[in-house]
Structure 1
Amino acid sequence: MSINQFNINIKDKYIAQAFEILNFFKSIIIEVHHIGSSKLAKIPYSCDMDILFIVKSYDDVRNLADILIAEGYVQINHFTDYFRDDMVMRKVVDGQVINMIFMSSASYKKEDILACTEHLVENEEYFRDFKNLKRSFLKDEVTEAEYDERKYQLFQMMKGEGDHSTSV
């Protein structure tokens, strides 16, 4: 399968999954964003798809869990430290692992996540650095802790804020 075909399939799966969730919760979801590695058109690796759902309030997020679990989703309690205050649900669709991150509209993290995703899409140097890091992780050349730390450093560089904020 070519990279272009892979990316078309990812886009179709993203749209289908986003609409499925929107159909359940259209009254509380404000925004939907495709984020993470699968958003990057030139990433030649099979990777999980991450979808960010911005909801009106955190109370809305907590109310979603039981409904999604009943529909076959699994709640992930230790996705990453960065998302420890958010709800992450997972489902495998046609062999594709899809992580749905539900975040309150009041969260300060939303803008950081979207900015870092756009930097990776638009900046060839950042993209190349991230792709090399992802490849090293997938080939077990770096541990998960090393991957997280190097990804943290890369995202800090993108944000231009030094070491005083948290990583995506």
Structure 2
Amino acid sequence: MSVNQFNINIKEKYIAQAFEILNFFKSIIIEVHHIGSSKLARIPYSCDMDILFIVKSYDDVRNLADILIAEGYAQINHFSDYFKDDMVMRKVVDGQIINMIFMSSASYKKHDILACTEHLVENREYFSDFKNLKQALLKNEVTKSEYDERKYRLFQMIKGEGDYLTSV
């Protein structure tokens, strides 16, 4: 499969999964964002898809878990330390692992997540650093905890520069 075909397939899965969740919770979800490695079109390898759902009506998004579990989703309790206060559900679609992160609209993390994702898409240096780090994890050259630490430092660096970036 070519990189272009892979990217089209990822987009189709993202849209299908987002609409499936929106059909369950159309009155409480206010935003949907494709985040993470699969969002980056120039990454030529398979990776999990992460979808961020911003929920307006529930302060505790974990209340949605029972409904999704009844529909065949699995709740992931230890997805990452960063998302420990949010609800993460997982489903496998056509062999693709899809992680759905449900976050309250009041969360302070939303802006940081979206800004870091956008910088990775637009900035070749950050993209290259992230791609190399992801490849090191997939090749078992770094442990998951080393990967998480280095990714955290990269995102801190991106966040620190965020207020000074300009677009052309």
TM-score of the superposition, structure 2-length normalised? 0.93
SS at match of 2:99: strand
Distance between the aligned counterparts of 1:112 and 1:85, measured in 2? Answer: 15
Deviation string for 1:126-160 (max 9, x for gaps)? 00000000000000000011101110110011011
Distance between the aligned counterparts of 2:60 and 2:141, measured in 1? Answer: 40
Shift of 1:63: 2.5
> Does structure 1 conserve the Cα–Cα contact (< 8 Å) formed by 2:53 and 2:102?
yes
What residue is the counterpart of 2:165 in the other structure? none
Query: Which amino acid is the alignment partner of residue 158 of structure 2?
Result: M
1:101-140 matched pairs, under 5 angstroms? 101-140=101-140
For structure 2, the residue ranges without an aligned partner over 5 or more in a row are 162-168
Deviation string for 1:3-22 (max 9, x for gaps)? 11000000000000000000
Query: Which amino acid is the alignment partner of residue 103 of structure 1?
Result: M
What residue is the counterpart of 1:148 in the other structure? 148
SS at match of 2:149: helix
What residue is the counterpart of 2:55 in the other structure? 55
What residue is the counterpart of 2:79 in the other structure? 79
Query: Which amino acid is the alignment partner of residue 98 of structure 1?
Result: I
Distance between the aligned counterparts of 1:82 and 1:23, measured in 2? Answer: 27
Shift of 1:50: 0.2
What residue is the counterpart of 1:166 in the other structure? none
What residue is the counterpart of 1:13 in the other structure? 13
> Does structure 2 conserve the Cα–Cα contact (< 8 Å) formed by 1:58 and 1:103?
no
Shift of 1:60: 5.8
Shift of 1:58: 3.9
Query: Which amino acid is the alignment partner of residue 145 of structure 2?
Result: A
What residue is the counterpart of 1:95 in the other structure? 95
> Does structure 2 conserve the Cα–Cα contact (< 8 Å) formed by 1:57 and 1:106?
no
SS at match of 2:42: coil
Deviation string for 1:86-118 (max 9, x for gaps)? 000000001000000000000000000000000
Shift of 1:78: 0.1
SS at match of 1:85: coil
SS at match of 2:72: coil
Deviation string for 1:40-84 (max 9, x for gaps)? 000011000000000014446232111100110000000000000
Moved over 6 A (4+): none
Distance between the aligned counterparts of 1:57 and 1:129, measured in 2? Answer: 37
Number of aligned residues = 161
SS at match of 2:106: coil
> Does structure 2 conserve the Cα–Cα contact (< 8 Å) formed by 1:116 and 1:155?
yes
SS at match of 1:160: helix
RMSD of aligned Cα (Å): 1.0
Distance between the aligned counterparts of 1:62 and 1:137, measured in 2? Answer: 30
Identity across aligned pairs (percent)? 89
